[in-house]
Amino acid sequence: MATTYNNSFSAILLKHPLQCIGIFCKPGPIENQKLLQKLVQWLRQKNLSVFLEADTARLIGEPPIHSISDVAKEADFIVVLGGDGTLLKVTREVYLFDTPLLAVNLGNLGFLTDVPRAGLFDALEKVLAGNCKVERRMLLKAYMLRDGEKTEEHYVLNDLVISKGVIANIVNLEVRVDGHYMTSYRGDGLIVATPTGSTAYSLSAGGPIIHPNIHNLIINPICPCALTNRPIIIPDDSEIDITLTLASEDVRLTCDGQVSCPIKPGDILKIQKAETTIQLIRVSEKSYYQILREKLNWGRATEPESNETLD
Give the C-alpha separation, 221 to 195, whole Å.
Answer: 16
Give the C-alpha separation, 195 to 215, whole Å.
Answer: 8
Give the C-alpha separation, 69 to 80, whole Å.
Answer: 14
Full DSSP string of 172-214:
EEEEEETTEEEEEEEESEEEEE-TGGGGTHHHHTTPPP--TTS
Check if the beta carbon of residue 143 is closer than 8 Å to that of residue 152.
yes
Check if the beta carbon of residue 92 is closer than 8 Å to that of residue 84.
no
Q: Is 84 a catalytic residue?
A: yes
DSSP category for residue 66: B
Cis peptide before 17 (omega within 30 of 0): yes
Please, what is the Cα angle at 65 between 60 and 69, to 5 degrees?
110
Give the C-alpha separation, 66 to 55, whole Å.
Answer: 9
Give the C-alpha separation, 162 to 23, whole Å.
Answer: 33
Determine the longest span between alpha carbons in the chain, in angstroms: 64
Check if the beta carbon of residue 123 is closer than 8 Å to that of residue 3.
no
Catalytic residue among 76, 84, 188, 241: 84
Strand 216-222 relative to strand 232-235: parallel, antiparallel, unpaired? antiparallel
**200 contact partners, CB below 8 Å, separation of at least 6:** 111, 158, 159, 193, 257
- Enzyme catalytic residues: 84
